[in-house]
Amino acid sequence: MFLLLFIINIYAIDLRAFDTPNDDGSGITINWQTYQNYQTFAIYRSTEPSGIFEKIGEVEGSENRFLDTNIKTGQEYYYKLNARQDTLIDSSRVVGPIKSQVQYFNTARLPMAICIIILFAAILFYISQAKKRGRLFIRKIPALNAVEEAIGRATEMGKPVLYVPGIMDIDDPQTIASMSILSRVAEKTAEYGTPLYVPTSRSMAMTMAQQVVKEAATRVGRPDWYNIDNIRYITDDQFAYVSAVDGIMVREKPATNLYLGTFYAESLILAETGHSTGAIQIAGTAMPDQLPFFVAACDYTLLGEELYAASAYLSQEPVQLGSLKGQDLGKLIFIGVIIIGVLCQIFSYQFFINLFNTIE
Amino acid sequence: MKTIIPLIIVFACGFYMLITFFIPARFAQASSQTLQNWYLGVIAFFVFIGIFNLIRINVDKIQRRLRDWQYSFILLFFLGVMLGAGFIGGRDSRIFLYFFENFQVPLGATMFSLLAFFVASASFRAFRAKTPEATLLLIAAVVVMIGRIPIGYLIWHGFPDLVEWIMQVPNTAAKRGILFGIDLGLISMALRVLLGIERSYMGGARE
């Protein structure tokens, strides 16, 4: 009878331990299932199956998982679990040996790697096509077509152009994209001799913007036009920066305002102030929550991906346009995958869906 | 060489960071963290460049008595006060905290609160029913606004559920569509930058 109760108690806790997947070999995961409720679980570990087990942790009864990170990679370990309910203690069987190993590829990120490889291949294919065939057809982006018109308007009115490259530093891809567009804008403003103001909220972005504008002016044969004082650092503080840029708008009354980069709550404050000064406004950001504000307050808006495509579009270089074409092919592939996913979900075909379940 | 060396550095660092994203082994994660730490070190250095630029432009403005030069004086004065207080007493010094809590925080809050008025004026323009799309936007916005307030529930018990549906289904679908495009655009731009096809951000366009 006693033996039977002992066996029942052992199998009341289903304990499993395994090398934590996709880590650097520093963890063993222990999880368990129980067939009754317990208050706490104490986890024990030993290097021998019949050796002395030391307690390595205790978790609440609501938990069913423990990550042991205090281990030596490659060393074999054995685990057992004590579950407590008031004065009653149930023990699990001993599981092991388990040893952790260094992982050299994160399999959870495999679908992501495949997506990137497909997209890279599509882009490289179209770049090579563009090199062979020359110019490719790319749909018109009205906001970018309006850039030259807006600069021309500022020139005719004898007023400056204001370029706001967002509030993030150059480690943000949107700031990099913005700097590429700034280069094209600076070329045009230098060509027309129109002053260009670039207030920045990060000093590294300021240095980059100065270099970009200087090179652009030199490229179009107008190095004398470049004025280093027009590209200045304001402050890292979000709202102090906004008040300074608003001040420039109200005092200098630029005829054209370009907001291209990363924006947060300041987007609408900037755009509405610019609207009140009567400037033509073109905005672009990849922050989905800020897009409605720009759409409402600006004349033209670059929606998300168009910000990244802007520099390639403005350059009209076949190689750069080829990369946009490849991006569109990638988009088509992903649309196909989404449709297949929806159909598989409707018809309960799990294999295809499970391919994407491992994405972190 | 002026262009080639930075391009090689961008290519090597960019692809290395991309590859380490898929390798959990310690050597890969530690080295990618080291690269990111180097970037932080560079940022710290650039703070001085920013402050130097700020001082240079505002001192010049005061010297030449340009328009509103008085504001430059106030800016430099408080820059000096905050720098002095920070260096002498640290960030927890009384003077530093006094100016931060009684000047910077309320001024920032004032700018932020302007949003309420700007949302109203922007909505007024955006919601004018000039086209079928704008009319649809107007209707959706009115439903969401009414459904979000208690009186909406009193008018019709289904309003909160309708709002939830608008936010969770059409709104989320549109947002995800935009996010998909953004991610693809980002990957495309990253490849252009890594391969040196896009180099205008470095100042130089393609020769």
B46, B51, B198: residue with CB nearest A180: B198
pLDDT value at position B204?
60
Q: Chain A: residue nearest B195 by CA?
A: A124
State both tokens at B16.
């290395």
Is B67 in CB contact (< 8 Å) with chain A?
A: yes
Q: Chain B: residue nearest A285 by CA?
A: B182
- Between CA A137 and CA A148, with CA A142 as vertex, the angle to 5 degrees is 100
% of residues, chain B, pLDDT over 70: 98
pLDDT value at position A10?
54
| Closest residue by Cα to residue A61 from A85, A95, A77, A87 | A85
Mean of per-residue pLDDT scores for chain B: 88
Q: How far is B84 from chain A (nearest CA, A)?
A: 18
Suggest the residue from B62, B200, B202, B206 to mutate for an interface test with chain A (most A CBs closer than 10 A).
B200
A22, A216, A308: residue with CB nearest B188: A308
pLDDT value at position A119?
85
Q: In the predicted model, what is the mean pLDDT of residues B163-172? A: 93
**DSSP of A4-63:** HHHHHHHTTEEEEEEEPTTSSS--EEEEEEESS--SEEEEEEESSTTSPPEEEEEEETT-
Q: Which of A208-212, A311-315, B18-22, B175-179 has the lowest mean pLDDT?
A: A311-315
CA of residue A201 relative to chain centroid, distance: 21
pLDDT, tens digit (0-9, with 9 covering 90-100), for B80-117 = 999 998 888 888 888 889 989 999 899 999 999 998 89
CB contact under 8 A, B21 and A109: yes
> Which of 106-145 (A) contact B at CB < 8 A?
106, 109, 113, 116, 119-120, 123-124, 127
Q: Chain B: residue nearest A175 by CA?
A: B201
pLDDT value at position A4?
47
Taken in order B195, B201, B202, B205, the sign of the CA dihedral is: positive
Q: Which residues contact A69 (CB under 8 A, 6 or more apart)?
A: A26, A27
| Closest residue by Cα to residue A168 from A285, A31, A14, A38 | A285
3-state secondary structure of A211: helix
Query: What residue type is assigned to position A116 of the chain?
Result: I
pLDDT value at position A188?
94
Is B205 in CB contact (< 8 Å) with chain A?
A: yes
Q: Chain B: residue nearest A294 by CA?
A: B122
pLDDT (tens, 9 = 90+) of chain A, 360 residues, equals 445 445 555 557 788 888 888 888 888 898 888 888 888 888 888 888 888 888 888 888 888 888 888 888 888 899 988 888 887 777 888 887 888 888 889 888 888 888 888 888 888 888 888 888 777 777 888 888 899 999 999 999 999 999 999 999 988 889 999 998 999 999 999 999 999 999 999 999 999 999 999 999 999 999 999 999 999 999 999 999 999 999 999 999 999 999 999 999 899 999 999 999 999 999 999 998 899 889 889 999 998 888 988 888 887 888 888 888 888 888 888 888 888 988 988 888 887 777 776 544
CB contact under 8 A, A286 and B126: no
3-state secondary structure of A230: helix
> Which of 216-255 (A) contact B at CB < 8 A?
216, 219, 229, 232-240, 242-243, 251
pLDDT value at position A149?
92
- Between CA B21 and CA A164, with CA B43 as vertex, the angle to 5 degrees is 95
Q: How far is B15 from chain A (nearest CA, A)?
A: 12
- How far is the C-alpha of A290 from the C-alpha of B41, rounded, in Å? 31
3-state secondary structure of B23: coil
Contacts from A354-359 at CB under 8 Å and sequence distance 24+? Answer: A355/A111, A356/A111, A358/A107, A358/A108, A358/A110, A358/A111, A359/A108, A359/A109, A359/A111, A359/A112
pLDDT value at position B207?
45
> Which of 14-33 (B) contact A at CB < 8 A?
18, 21-26, 29
Q: How far is A258 from chain B (nearest CA, A)?
A: 17
Is B207 in CB contact (< 8 Å) with chain A?
A: no
Chain A residues with CB under 8 Å of B189 CB are 173, 176-177, 308-309
Q: How far is A82 from chain B (nearest CA, A)?
A: 32
Using pLDDT thresholds of 50, 70 and 90, give the confidence band for residue B154: very high
